[in-house]
Structure 1
Amino acid sequence: MATAAAAAPSPSPSPPLPPPPPPCCSPPSQCVKLLRAPPPPANFTRSSPPQHRSRRHRSRAICCAGSSPQFGAGDLKFALHDALDSLGVDTTHAREARKKYCSQIGNFSDIERETSISINRGVDLGKTALYIAAEDDSLVSHSSVPLPVEAFIQRLDDLSMGYCSHYNSRFKSSPQTFLDSLDKYLYVRKGFRRSSAKGLLDFRSLYLHSVLTHRSGSAAMLSLIYSESLKMLRLWGLLNFDVEIFFPRDLEGLPRGYDKQKSKESDQPHILTSQALLVQILRDLKGAFWPFQHNRNESLFLRAAQAANCSDRSNAGEESGFQLASTKAAQYRLDRGVWTTVRLGDMRRALAGA
């Protein structure tokens, strides 16, 4: 999925928009002018958590391309989808998922991009991650039915509802007791666990809908689920202190909440912003599906460049026959228009992650 950037200044006499932040990954295929999220309606009450109040408040976005001040969703241009359409692949559901993804990230303001994922904002990170999954699912399955995003959003909401029903006595306890009970609920009662380094080859750990189903996910996915639970508890008025999420930088740690008032300077590298979370999700997918899987210490570009020469020039003396054969096989498949293989990546999803 391409990351949206802020819109270029309009030629009209209106004051110019601030420059966009530096790109976090590949160049965007469209740009979005951002509007702030409206405040909740006057009749919104922070009481018990009925389901019909879940995820109701959304920001709006006005999209623009080039010097055009405004255009519709149908004007978005996606090179990957156009290429697949030219090959006879139906990308209807994939395009729709990408448009909805762009609509979500269009709600980002410059401040919200750098805001911690533990704070409720106009961008629904849960839906955004599910639109990423919906696009990839359509690209791979060619199903006539799109991924049921709303059903998995309901699963996210049900997680928070389940915590409320089992741990309502913890709401008036100390912050540490409250967070300990949330950890126990997610990682013990519900059984969410961190996928191993080798487990990243199990691509289900990289998609939110699969993690909600199989309870095994990457650090980014577990952090997202933790933050969505906090968001709903905050919307229902059950969280009365500031929480931060500790994002593990090792291969085994679990995301956990802590009282922000007790945070230390050493906690700063473990705070994940909203933009950084989406970048991490896309980077994980792009790396996982890149067809040239040997020598993971090299960048994706160098892996492709080495494959073009059918050799790893930087390590020619130690190059194994398996690596050379894998490189030649990947090149051969792509030359013949074969996008995917069981063991060596999937170029469609790698490009979608770009």
Structure 2
Amino acid sequence: MASATLTSSSSSVFTSFHKSPLRPSTPLRFVCKSQTLDQDQDQDQALPLVLHDALDASGLDTKHVRAAREGFRSQIGRLGAVERDTSISVNRRIDLAKTALYIAAEDDSLISHSSVPLPVDAFVDRLDDLSMGFCSHYGASVAPSSPEAFLGALERFLYQDKGFRRAKVSSLSDPRALYLHSVLTHRSGSAVMLSLIYAELLKMLRLWSLLSFDVEIYCPHDLVSLPRGYNKKKSRVSDQPHILTTQALLVKMLKNLKDAFWPFQNDPTKSLFLRAAHAARCTSGPTNMGESGFERASAKAAQHRLERGVWTSVRLGDMRRALSACERLIQMEFDLDELRDYSILLYHCGFYEESMQYMKAYLTSRADKPLNQEGPSKALRDLEDEAVEKLMMRLNLISMEDTHTRPSYFRSFLSNCSEPW
């Protein structure tokens, strides 16, 4: 996607923050510039998604990256209010497996030098083969059985016969646990990814008329348990927090990627935004409080590797994949905080004007919006608001300068390097 326009749910497009302030109660929506727009809409004032155009400007081929993002956008475009809150075990409107594979395909193209895109259809076929494998092993014997026996056989096939398992705690930031194609290959993944595979098996079994009862998937919140299916008729109120809706699954998937590749990995007690604000010196207190000399030396070494084109998750993550995750979360229209987080990443990349636009969108949209009761504590929110204020002051000062000079590391975050390591 070359760029996008921030609009309300009505037909009008907001082309100016001053003339048409965003309504907090109205969901945010991004529309591709390539889509048909009214003649009176000023595209020059559109609020852009930056990553793909920045890669183009760095001389990188973004054909496969853009194609994968368009596939993702076309899938989430089918999400209405009802579909967003539909359980993944009964979802029929959006192809969750393809959506997850489009996410993987874009990120694969971002970091690889391959001229061949990730074979999305081949991995969809692999999921279908998994369903066929269950039918050939257990289909005839479990079809007339009780729901408990049927689901027990399905889980025995998935977790014992095929060996799918939860990724180890130390490997949760390993991309192989967070991308569907890698989980299908290595049989190890996050609870969200295993729940998605479970849901895809149920979908195919339902299509083949082998599933005659309603199933819910229990997605565990701990670090070791496996997703389990159960008869929906036996649902309890306590099960509700563990039921993944279509929106919840996609948001968790993208936030896991955002967490894993966030370029500022120090101090996990802080939010991602505060870590980035701390690196930009937009927070109070010493900049290296509590860090040892060894930790600072490790951070510098990781920074040096990044500048040479070696992507690492040691303290410094992957700016391209972090930006990509932020952009897709913004397109999901789920949480206003994504505008703020994207803004500070753009600031670190030297896109000061775009950073200011997104921060203004965040502040205007949040003006009359009540705080999310499930979000950060008031103390943490106050720290974040203080950092936002300091960042806006700095962006305003930068905007008054005659020229905007990007930092020296700008190109290293987004461009490839000929050195393999």
Answer whether TM exceeds 0.5 for this pair.
Answer: yes
Q: 2:205 aligns with which of 233, 255, 258?
A: 233
Partner amino acid, structure 2, of 1:30: V
Conserved in 1, the CA contact under 8 Å of 2:131 and 2:201? yes
Query: In structure 2, what is the equivalent of residue 57 of structure 1?
Result: none
Q: Distance in 1 between matches of 2:124 and 2:47?
A: 26
Stretches of structure 2 lacking an aligned partner (at least 5 in a row): 13-22, 327-421
Once residues 133 and 163 of structure 2 are traced to their aligned partners in structure 1, the CA distance between those partners, rounded to angstroms, is: 13
Identity %: 60
Residue 149 of structure 1: aligned partner: 120
Question: Residue 9 of structure 1 aligns to which amino acid in structure 2?
Answer: S
Residues 66-81 of structure 1: matches in 2 within 5 Å?
78-81=49-52
282-291 or 337-346, which moves further after superposition? 337-346
Alignment of 1:320-335 (within 5 A): 320-327=292-299
Change (3 A) 1:68 1:123: farther
Task: Note the 1:45-124 alignment, pairs <5 A.
Answer: 78-124=49-95
Q: Distance in 1 between matches of 2:87 and 2:40?
A: 31
Aligned-pair distance for 1:193? 0.3
Deviation at 1:272, TM superposition (A): 0.6
Match of 2:226 among 237, 254, 265: 254
Separation (CA, whole Å) in 1 of partners of 2:39 and 2:145: 54
**Alpha-carbon distance, 1:65 to partner:** 7.3
**Contact residue 117 and residue 272 of structure 1 kept, 8 A:** yes
Counterpart of 1:283 in structure 2 is 255
Q: In 2, are the aligned partners of 1:5 and 1:20 still within 8 Å (CA)?
A: no
Residue 38 of structure 1: aligned partner? none
CA RMSD after TM alignment: 3.4
Asked if 1 retains the 8 angstrom alpha-carbon contact of 2:176 and 2:189, the reply is yes
One-letter code aligned to 2:138: Y
Structure 1 residue 318 corresponds to structure 2 residue 290: yes
Q: State the Cα distance separating 1:107 from its structure 2 match.
A: 1.0
Shift of 1:313: 3.1
- 1:345 to partner: Cα distance: 1.2
Q: Which runs of 5+ in 1 are unaligned?
A: 12-18, 33-62
Assess, with a 3 A threshold, how the Cα gap between structure 1 residues 122 and 4 changes in structure 2: closer, same or farther. farther
Contact 1:339 1:346 survives alignment (8 Å):
no
Q: Tell me the number of residue pairs that the alignment of Structure 1 and Structure 2 aligns.
A: 309
Which residue does the alignment assign to 1:223?
A: 195
Contact 2:267 2:275 (8 Å CA) reproduced: yes
Aligned partners of 2:135 and 2:40: how far apart in 1? 46
Q: Please report how far the alpha carbon of residue 292 of structure 1 lies from its aligned counterpart in structure 2 after TM superposition.
A: 1.5
Kindly provide the CA deviation profile for residues 264-316 of structure 1, in whole angstroms up to 9, marking residues without a partner as x. 11101101100010001100111101122222221111111222239993796
Structure 2: how far apart are the matches of 1:103 and 1:76?
20
For the 8 Å contact 1:115–1:274, the answer to whether it is kept is yes
3-state DSSP class of the match of 2:172?
Answer: helix
What are the residue-to-residue correspondences of 1:172-211 with 2, within 5 Å? Answer: 172-211=144-183
Which residue number corresponds to residue 349 of structure 1?
321
Q: Deviations over 1:177-203 (max 9, x none)?
A: 000001100000000000022111321
2:382 paired residue number: none
How big is the shift at 1:332?
6.8
Q: TM-score, normalised by structure 2?
A: 0.66
Counterpart AA for 2:126: R
> Could you state the TM-score of these two structures normalised by the residue count of structure 1?
0.78
Code of the residue aligned with 2:60 in structure 1: it is: V
| Counterpart contact for 2:279–2:287, Cα < 8 Å | no
Amino acid at match of 1:207: Y
Q: Which one-letter code corresponds to 1:289 in the other structure?
A: F
Stretches of 4+ aligned residues off by more than 6 angstroms: 1-7, 19-23, 330-334
Distance in 1, matches of 2:77 and 2:161, equals: 36
Deviation at residue 158 of structure 1 after TM alignment: 0.7
Deviation of residue 209 (structure 1)?
Answer: 0.3
Question: Which one-letter code corresponds to 1:242 in the other structure?
Answer: D
Partner of 1:10: 11
Q: Distance in 2 between matches of 1:322 and 1:312?
A: 23
The one-letter code matched in structure 2 to 1:208 is L
Q: In the aligned structure 2, how far is the partner of 1:221 from the partner of 1:256?
A: 13
Q: Secondary structure, in 3 states, of the residue corresponding to 2:229?
A: strand
**Matches of 2:215 and 2:92, distance apart in 1:** 14
- For 2:223 and 2:58, locate their aligned partners in 1 and report how far apart those are by CA, in whole Å: 40
Q: Are 2:9 and 2:29, in contact at CA under 8 Å, matched by a contact in 1?
A: no
Change (3 A) 1:238 1:88: same
